[in-house]
Structure 1
Amino acid sequence: MSTELMPSSRARAALHQDPVGTLMEEVKLKPQYHPVLRPNGMINLSGALNSLMTDWMATYSEKEPLSMSECLSYGPLTGSQDLLEAAAGYFNRFFSPCEPIRAEHILAANGVTSLMDMVAWTLCDPGQGVLYLTPNFFMLDYNMTVRAGLTTIPVSTLDLSDPFGSNGLSELIRALDIASSSALEDRGIECRVLFLCNPTNPQGRCYSPQTLEGLASCILSTSSQQNVHCLYGMSKDFNMGGLRMGFLVTRNPVIKAAASQAAWFTWLTVASDKFVTRFLQQLDVIQDYLDNYCSRLTEAYRRTTTALNKYKIPFQQADAVFAGQFAGCDRPGRFRLVYSQDSTVVELAIQRIGQALDTLSAGQ
């Protein structure tokens, strides 16, 4: 008599740990909107996709073709030297670090999701805690817990006067201190990491330099750059999610060396390495892209907010649509709305939302 072997206990637990992923897969199976073929199809405003520059990137890609015969062999685990040097040049040009970033500070991997798992494994032991501010990136909790076994400690900012500006720094630090102390005293969880998205996701707000410096010195109890580790991906700014390219930037050689031990599971493709290297080496081309993108994004935001006002849908200024529970929000009835796609389609989706809200109101 044969016995059916079941998945491991951790694998069985993961089956019920990702409601967002399950929902996203269900959404993909629904008939999607097409202005002619499926005018009543589903419009998905939930995904952090950026299609405003698809035409620009298509033109660029056609001008910069890859020789696939050069992409068939294995490449370096954590990125070629050319890629790391190009990434350093990009970060120095467009992020203005206080001290120049060098190639030796960078590790490349197949996307920020993989890097979050890598960093969780590198910085923490199972059961230790990760503080993060909410609302936040909806996959953060899953990415930091499903394999590394960490415990996430959400800290709501909705009642804080200004979690982003320097005037609200003391209030923000107090909220984080309370959450960290409560986790230790009530649950025995030691918080090892403070995870920030900057700009914030989903609000689309940037923390002030004073706030970031204050958090580093007060929460981390140090001003050392050795304890600050940054993740950056090519998916959002450049809509290159299909290339699976992300970077860990750290000035801590021990952390980088330890993270590199997990890079066998985050190996880049040679095609991604070569394409992104070539792109990041062309800083003036990137500047042209960003200039055009900022202009288009500004117009998309204007059209989106105009439509929201037209249908009397309240919104928070500069918000980056996921239900609040999927954005780590502790208040019901809040959604993330992504407007970096065809504005005509976004306006139609907002019209549908407005009509649905009117129907709900009429039925009350």
Structure 2
Amino acid sequence: MGDNGDSRALWPSQRGLDNLQRGRQMDISQALEDITPYDPVKAPHGIITSPSAADNELVPELLEKYAQRFGRTYQLKDALGYGSVAGPEAMLKAVSQFINRKFEPVRPIKHKDILTTNGVTSLIDMVAYNICDSGEGIMLPTPTYSMYEHDLCARSGLKVIPVSVCPVEDQFRSEGCSKMIAAFSEAYDKAVESGIVVKAVLICNPNNPVGRFYSRKSLTEIARFCGKHRLHLISDEIFAMSGFESTDRNGGKLDNFTSVLSIPEDKESGVFTENIHSLYGASKDFAMGGLRLGFLITRNKQLWQTCRRIALFTWLTSFSTAFFTWFISNDKFVDEYLNTFQRRLKQAYLKTSEAMDKHGIPYLQANGGFFIFIDLSGWLQYFEGTDGPQQDGKQSREEQLCRYMIKKGVYAIMGELSMSTEPGRFRFVYTGRGNEAVIAVGRIANALKELHYSEKESGDTSTCNSELSKADKISVGKLTSRFSRALQKFNCI
């Protein structure tokens, strides 16, 4: 296809072109492919990108064991034919049993309450399409998952309505409920006043990027808010089992996972189970992203039917359903895996947070998901410019700091991409291979120290020595140019 100046090349649709203005995280990830990735032996000075990718690398030997056992009896020819579009009954029954055992729903989930697609990303797009008409809105408490704006809007043409809960001291605890709901109400009223028809609230539990689970009371109050305004409540629970017991800095216990499926009906408040939906998948808790399996769990027959009607676009593979059915049906394997995974997840968190404490990197205590929300706002002072997403092509101070850390050999996702209203926040994933997370923390710490001393000595942060090799410095130069262009594409919501 020719470039924009090639008159032979016909242009895509306007809606296709509009999608180039969102999803800038994908642009950044593609740009990073130009740089040699870190390898402890082959490329010890390569860039560490694992802090930006929510990959689960904690239990490889058990996954290998399960794959080997399954492969002894599975016939490859069985993977070559068409399988069930939205999940065979055997898998749906096995998943419903798992949900009933681990999510503690208020009433048992039946296999007919579940619809399967090729991943939770597809589910988000599918559910949004079937809940909202073009131009209608979905509310998101922020900071939130950095790809929601793309996933909700790319094909459905929705309006994303951010709900800033940053002023709330702790929106996850029961004590912060009233202020959190006040923030929801304010955002809802503003959206309605601007002519947007609001149809749903979408949360991620645990919150991505903060790494905290919502308390039962918080979930109940969000459900009541939705009931009051006749909204769907959608909870992305793909990290449901990725949690561990932990406390805050004052010794207070952090809440563990509670599913929205466990919220009881409250007719007086308009809370009905048919309007509460959970999204789950195999990618995070079970580190099986390659299977491409996402599960919609809903008690709403009409929503299930409308989603099933377009499931041809998210057809499952025969191998994926066969393997996952075999695995998830075996409670012994599931519990063996989860016990090992959760123990190692906590160890990885403690190891990484201890490294942050050692180097004086501020962060929020976490106990869910694979991430820690770090606070580098204290280092924004070394950069000129404004805070918030790019305006008029100018880089925010947070973006400049992000680019600086890339030059120092580490990439973590900016809070701007998660719609954080507090500048200088970054999502740091600590579940990468081996000791990568601790090495990445050390690189960040060294970069911040060099930033301070280099500015103090010369007033020019560009003179800092990079950890990257000479060849990669050239790649970084190309990258930062592409990185800047990628960030300029973002439209403020």
TM-score per shorter chain, which class?
Answer: over 0.9
CA distance in 1, matches of 2:63, 2:420: 34
Aligned to 2:91: 83
CA distance in 2, matches of 1:312, 1:23: 28
1:171 corresponds to 2:219: no
CA distance in 2, matches of 1:349, 1:161: 29
- Runs (5+) with no aligned partner, structure 2: 1-6, 229-269, 373-411, 456-493
CA distance in 2, matches of 1:330, 1:168: 18
CA distance in 1, matches of 2:428, 2:76: 38
In the TM superposition, what is the alpha-carbon distance from 1:295 to its structure 2 partner? 1.0
Greater mean deviation of Cα atoms: 229-238 or 162-171: 162-171
CA distance in 1, matches of 2:12, 2:227: 38
Aligned to 2:209: 202
Aligned to 2:10: 5
1:273 corresponds to 2:364: no
Residues 244-289 of structure 1: CA distance to partner in whole angstroms, max 9, x if unpaired? 0010000010110011111011110011111111111011211111
Tell me which amino acid in the other structure corresponds to 2:205: N
Tell me which amino acid in the other structure corresponds to 1:40: H
CA distance in 1, matches of 2:181, 2:343: 35
1:34 corresponds to 2:125: no
Asked whether the equivalents of residues 174 and 218 of structure 2 are also in contact (C-alpha less than 8 Å), the reply is: yes
Aligned to 1:129: 137
Identity over aligned pairs, percent: 37
Tell me which amino acid in the other structure corresponds to 1:54: P
Residues 69-93 of structure 1: CA distance to partner in whole angstroms, max 9, x if unpaired? 1111111111000010010011011
Aligned to 1:345: 436
1:304 corresponds to 2:310: no
Residues 50-72 of structure 1: CA distance to partner in whole angstroms, max 9, x if unpaired? 00011211111111113211111
Tell me which amino acid in the other structure corresponds to 1:18: G
Aligned to 1:259: 307
Aligned to 1:332: 423
Provide the TM-score with structure 2 as the length reference. Answer: 0.72
Residues 84-141 of structure 1: CA distance to partner in whole angstroms, max 9, x if unpaired? 0010011011111111101000000000000000001000000001100111111011
Residues 144-200 of structure 1: CA distance to partner in whole angstroms, max 9, x if unpaired? 001100000111111102211222212111111110110111x21111110010111
Q: 1:232 aligns with which of 259, 275, 280?
A: 280
Give the root-mean-square deviation of aligned CA atoms: 1.2
CA distance in 2, matches of 1:340, 1:71: 31
CA distance in 1, matches of 2:286, 2:349: 18
Tell me which amino acid in the other structure corresponds to 1:16: Q
Aligned to 1:315: 363
Greater mean deviation of Cα atoms: 337-346 or 168-177: 337-346
In the TM superposition, what is the alpha-carbon distance from 1:341 to its structure 2 partner? 2.2
CA distance in 1, matches of 2:157, 2:364: 34
CA distance in 2, matches of 1:28, 1:89: 41
Greater mean deviation of Cα atoms: 206-215 or 353-362: 206-215
Aligned to 1:43: 48
1:17 corresponds to 2:22: yes
CA distance in 2, matches of 1:84, 1:36: 43
CA distance in 2, matches of 1:334, 1:172: 20
CA distance in 2, matches of 1:255, 1:169: 29
Aligned to 1:161: 169
Asked whether the equivalents of residues 300 and 343 of structure 1 are also in contact (C-alpha less than 8 Å), the reply is: no
Question: What is the number of residues matched between the two proteins?
Answer: 362
In the TM superposition, what is the alpha-carbon distance from 1:3 to its structure 2 partner? 5.0
Provide the TM-score with structure 1 as the length reference. Answer: 0.97
CA distance in 2, matches of 1:220, 1:30: 49
- Runs (5+) with no aligned partner, structure 1: none
Asked whether the equivalents of residues 180 and 190 of structure 1 are also in contact (C-alpha less than 8 Å), the reply is: no
Tell me which amino acid in the other structure corresponds to 1:47: A
